[in-house]
Each structure stands twice: as structure tokens, then as C-alpha cells.
A and B are shown apart, each in its own frame.
Chain A
Amino acid sequence: DAKTTQPTSMDCAEGRAANLPCNHSTISGNEYVYWYRQIHSQGPQYIIHGLKNNETNEMASLIITEDRKSSTLILPHATLRDTAVYYCIVRASGTYKYIFGTGTRLKVLA
């Protein structure tokens, strides 16, 4: 099963881009990378996912390196409401088992 590694915490100034890195060096060729965020005492919220191409939606952009061993979630203009724990996960190959790590606690500063 692929595992992910993320920094424990990061700070970002309000209005600036927040770049959250994730390492998934053992990812298999058919495994997707997913990003979620969790605000205290709520269920995680889906943000974006991708396989090998960069992806963008109304919430964020996902940049995946060519070797697929790492990715970066970009929140282009962080607001105070983006303060949350961000999880980078991959799905275990051949199953529907999604493995979560401990995530990155992002604090957006006014």
C-alpha cells in the first residue's frame, strides 16, 4: 500500500498562495492522489484528485511530479476559512481502501 508523508504544520499569510507538499514515493501506476481537508470536529471535505496530470478546480490546483512520487496542493489565495488539517491520500491498489496519514495543519494568518 502506498503511504504518504506530509509536513506536520504550515503557516500562510491571508491572500497568499498556500503550497502544501506530499510525498508518495511508493505509489503504483494506477493509484490516484486525493486531497481532503478537515475543519475541527467535522467530516473531511474532498478537494481534488489526480493520476498524473495537473488538475484544477474551483477550490485548488494539484501539481503531480512527472515521476509521481510527490505532489503539491495549491490554494491560490488563502483565506482564514482555509485554516484546517489537509490530508493527502492514495487508494490502495486493487481495493477501495483509502489510507490516510496524519495530514498538515495549515494555519492562515491575518
Chain B
Amino acid sequence: DGGITQSPKYLFRKEGQNVTLSCEQNLNHDAMYWYRQDPGQGLRLIYYSQIVNDFQKGDIAEGYSVSREKKESFPLTVTSAQKNPTAFYLCASSIFGAGGNSPLHFGNGTRLTVT
């Protein structure tokens, strides 16, 4: 089945450590996204990438980094510079082009806890 795989589902880290969240898609989508969700809040955009080797900052990019070396993969690194890293992280993808109306497809998220 085609879809987006985020791993692991739960991740625990000590403060001061960098951590990388995995996101893989086999939908052949061009665009990929990372969102962050805090308890009781909506989704906030961290980074997005429209094509391989290109990405743009979202609204809350500080303390995060991404890479897009392959079309199917868009890993997110939460660095020690991120002041409040504990959150639910969601990866998504969409078709690029096609009049720009393609919907987002989401993975099931990674819950990161930093202590």
C-alpha cells in the first residue's frame, strides 16, 4: 500500500542531544512537509520541500534542519538549539504541479519527548 511512514512512533532523548526523525513516502509525491503539533493546538509548519535538493523554512524553522537528497525521504533533525522540542511531529506529502490543488497526505506522526 502506498503511504507515508514515520519512525519511530515514540522517541525519547536527553536535553542537549540532536535527534533525527525519519519520514519516507512511496507515493511518488514531489513535495514533502514537516509540521509540529503541541497539546491542544493546531499544526505549525516547520519546513517544506517542493523538489529534491530544495527546501524552504516554514513558520517555526528555528532549531530544526532538514535534507532532501531523495524524492522519497525527508528527514527532520531536531537540534539542541530548539528550546521546546517535546511535541508531536507530523510528516506529509503532496503532488507538485497539477494546478496546485493536490491535498496533503500525512503519516501517523512521531511523538518526541526530551527530558
Contact = CB atoms under 8 A, between A and B. Distances in A.
Interface of A: 30, 32, 34, 36, 41-46, 49, 51, 87, 91, 95-103
A36 B43 CA distance: 12
15 contacts: A41-B88, A43-B4, A43-B90, A43-B92, A44-B104, A46-B103, A87-B42, A95-B56, A96-B94, A97-B45, A97-B56, A97-B58, A98-B45, A98-B94, A100-B42
B41 A51 contact: no
Interface of B: 4, 6, 31, 33, 35, 41-45, 48, 50, 56, 58, 88, 90, 92, 94, 96, 100-101, 103-109, 111
Contacts, number: 63
A46 B104 contact: yes
